Amino acid sequence: ITLSGVTEVVVKAKDAGYWNEGAKIRPLSQDIIPEISGDTLIFSLDKPAMLSVERKKQIWDHVSELGMKRDNPDWWKRGFRYNETLQLSSYATGMAEALFIFADTLQAEPKRQDATIRLLPGIHTGNIDLRSGQHLHLDEGAFLFGSVNIWDAENVKVTGKGVIIHDGNQPPYTDRGVQTERNWRPISINNSQNVSVSGVTCIARSRTWTIQATASRNLEFDGLKIIASNLANLNGDGIDLCGAQDVIISNCFFRTCDDAIALYRTMPFDDNIHETWGEKDYSQYVDTWVKNVFISGCVFWNTSANVMRVGWTGMSLNTENITMKDCDVIHLSDCSYFYAPHSLLNIMSEDGSGEAEHSDYLFENIRMEEYSALVGINHQQARLKNICFKDIYMVESSKWPSLIIVHNVDEDKGIIFENVTVKGKLVEQAEDLPLCIEGDGNIEFR
């Protein structure tokens, strides 16, 4: 929707009783209360917004089967095995009906330059390789069925209100979406710097990540709408930063079936050649660092994973200076994987292996509406320093206890929970969250 002053939005359902249970417009922080008349829902907008229009009582009500098991700490600490989790969580958050509304102001047309590739309204097919200095613009109403590759390039821009749709030949039930290849996802960035992507909608229909940035620097993602879903409901990540540094992610909407944002080293995940990748490492450069990442003004909804995942089993990874501010989590997978609940921040290694060090994390002014847990850390060998959750507002109680199992937390600057509230009540101790702690970590509540 292009806004021009105050704009009235009318949503008409095909069934007369569709809104009988009422409606919610998320994020709730927008404080939009619609008028309902029969099959019609009406509300007004006077500023840009990224919204999910939903019927009440259609999502978490489906997961009542978990309630009895959740009360048994021994059960969830052993780990909720993935097949069962997937069946329930996918039905709960993957099959729910919702209407996404993206409202923005009128966008100026790009200046005519030789380096500009402009896609006019209509259907476009094929893959686009962008070189240094090029600018790709997708007009509103332009649909590109293919991929955009930014490899070995600098000073590249992708702008517009068009849509990039990738429906590749990835096997639906095999984990190959992580590969670093051209034409393997809506947008692939590799060994590049000074890249900005703004405004466009990216849809990943096949089992692959939506945007992968590998061994790259100075990246900016602004105003993106990311929708990733596939038959297996896996590997539909949002933005994966693999050995990437100096990154800004702002004002983006994530509807993903897997992790919304993931921090990894370059592929493969370990120091060995991945057998299923044709006996070669697809990354041109190995980088085990992800640092200086700033995320703000985003909206998150994912089906079966985390808002932010950091690392993987056996992965050598260093992360530093990671900030997320002023974001809304409207739905977050009600399940766990490899002995850690899906959460706002997940740091996991199934067997505790992998040399990992993570420092200077700040999650501030985060609003969590329907969610499984705040934090899920289960990595015995990881070293953590200065991990802070500040001004976290949880509208309701978590579906799972949060979990911290780590044995190397900095003695001076550890893990801090400052002004974290659950249904308006300040979290002053682990039981208030609730949070299960194993290890001798320096964990403080303020």
Dist CA 161 CA 200 (whole Å): 5
Contact 324, 362 (CB under 8 A): yes
Q: Indicate whether 73 belongs to any domain.
A: no
Residue 235 has pLDDT above 70, yes or no: yes
* Tokens standing for residue 207: 């089992």
Look at the chain and report how many structural domains it folds into.
2
Mean pLDDT taken over the chain = 87
Residues 217 and 283 in one domain: yes
Amino acid 354 reads G
Residues 218 and 344 in one domain: yes
* Tokens standing for residue 372: 């499984």
Residue 373 has pLDDT above 60, yes or no: yes
Span 418-428, pLDDT tens digits: 999 999 999 99
Q: Range of 315's domain?
A: 113-445
Residues 227 and 349 in one domain: yes
Residue 276 has pLDDT above 70, yes or no: no
Average pLDDT value for residue range 6-35: 93
Q: What angle do CA 215, 309, 316 make, to 5 degrees?
A: 55
Residues 178 and 325 in one domain: yes
Q: Indicate whether 105 belongs to any domain.
A: no
Contacts of 16 (CB under 8 A, 6+ apart): 38, 39
Q: Indicate whether 79 belongs to any domain.
A: no
Q: Indicate whether 342 belongs to any domain.
A: yes
Banded pLDDT at 277 (limits 50, 70, 90): very low
Q: Indicate whether 289 belongs to any domain.
A: yes
Kindly report the pTM of this predicted structure.
0.91
Of the ranges 193-207, 222-236, 273-287, 415-429, which one carries the lowest mean pLDDT score? 273-287
Cβ neighbours, 10 Å, residue 339: 19
Residues 49 and 118 in one domain: no
Give the largest CA-CA distance in the chain. 64
**Residue written as token pair 């303020």:** 446
Residues 157 and 271 in one domain: yes
Q: Indicate whether 399 belongs to any domain.
A: yes
Q: Which of 258, 205, 255 is nearest to 230 (CA)?
A: 205
Residues 124 and 43 in one domain: no
Per-residue confidence (pLDDT) for residue 71, from 0 to 100: 53
Q: Indicate whether 324 belongs to any domain.
A: yes
Contact 256, 226 (CB under 8 A): yes
Residues 327 and 425 in one domain: yes
Residues 52 and 153 in one domain: no
Of the ranges 32-46, 72-86, 158-172, which one carries the lowest mean pLDDT score? 72-86
Residues 278 and 424 in one domain: yes
Question: Can you tell me whether residue 82 is helix, strand or coil?
Answer: helix
Burial class (CB in 10 A: 0-12, 13-18, 19+), 47: exposed
**Residue written as token pair 């393997």:** 184
* Tokens standing for residue 327: 């974001």
Per-residue confidence (pLDDT) for residue 270, from 0 to 100: 54
User: Which residues pair with residue 143 across a beta bridge?
Assistant: 123, 163
Residues 50 and 170 in one domain: no
Concatenated DSSP letters of 28-42: GGG----EEETTEEE
Banded pLDDT at 54 (limits 50, 70, 90): very high
Q: Indicate whether 83 belongs to any domain.
A: no
Element containing residue 65 per DSSP (H, E): helix 65-70
**CA torsion sign, 409 to 214 to 230 to 250?**
positive
Of the ranges 97-111, 204-218, 289-303, 315-329, which one carries the lowest mean pLDDT score? 97-111
Residue at which a domain ends, from 14, 29, 57? 57
Residues 133 and 262 in one domain: yes
Q: What is the CATH number of the domain that holds 174?
A: 2.160.20.10
Dist CA 64 CA 327 (whole Å): 28
Q: Higher-confidence residue: 390 or 271?
A: 390
Average pLDDT value for residue range 307-335: 93
Residue 232 has pLDDT above 90, yes or no: no
Dist CA 382 CA 197 (whole Å): 33
Contacts of 247 (CB under 8 A, 6+ apart): 213, 219, 220, 221, 241, 292, 293, 294
* Tokens standing for residue 154: 């600098």
Cβ neighbours, 10 Å, residue 255: 25
Q: Kindly calculate the radius of gyration of the chain based on its CA atoms and give it in whole angstroms.
A: 21
Residue 61 has pLDDT above 50, yes or no: no
Dist CA 188 CA 167 (whole Å): 14
Dist CA 220 CA 198 (whole Å): 8
Residue at which a domain ends, from 29, 57, 85? 57
Residue at which a domain ends, from 16, 40, 57? 57
